[in-house]
Structure 1
């Protein structure tokens, strides 16, 4: 198991708070569908939830770049390139979602 501290640890509570808020949004969406709310209202809330998830993802990506990638690049060029490739794959997944 990796025992290195991750870059987001300093803001872990903030991320957890945001994710709990998003979880609440998901429950709200379920209630809206169950209550047969107007389609556009559901889509509006879905869009807000998507933006919130994207914000968490971008925050984690920034933390990763500033901590994990930077640390690996300081260790060695090969490790730095490996972390950059890993970050680029994550960015690609975020952009596709």
Structure 2
């Protein structure tokens, strides 16, 4: 529940995590900070843009008390700024 964080589902593989970091720097490079109008008091405009690309939430079905995931799927929380205390909200909606 933070404007510079994302929750998404994918494979838990270290190379893929590094690929995300490299890939997200292309459309939303961190520096120079002066390229963004948002930057001034905070230098985190790139984190806001990366969150927009990755999304803010994931929806997962649960069947018989278990997450309906593919073999390698997991839920990830990715913080693009890292400067503040964060919290995650989990809602379970169903019968």
What's the TM-score, normalizing by structure 2? 0.31
Q: Pick the structure with more strand per residue.
A: 2
- Higher RCO (C-alpha under 8 Å, 6+ residues apart): 2
Which is helix-richer, 1 or 2? 1
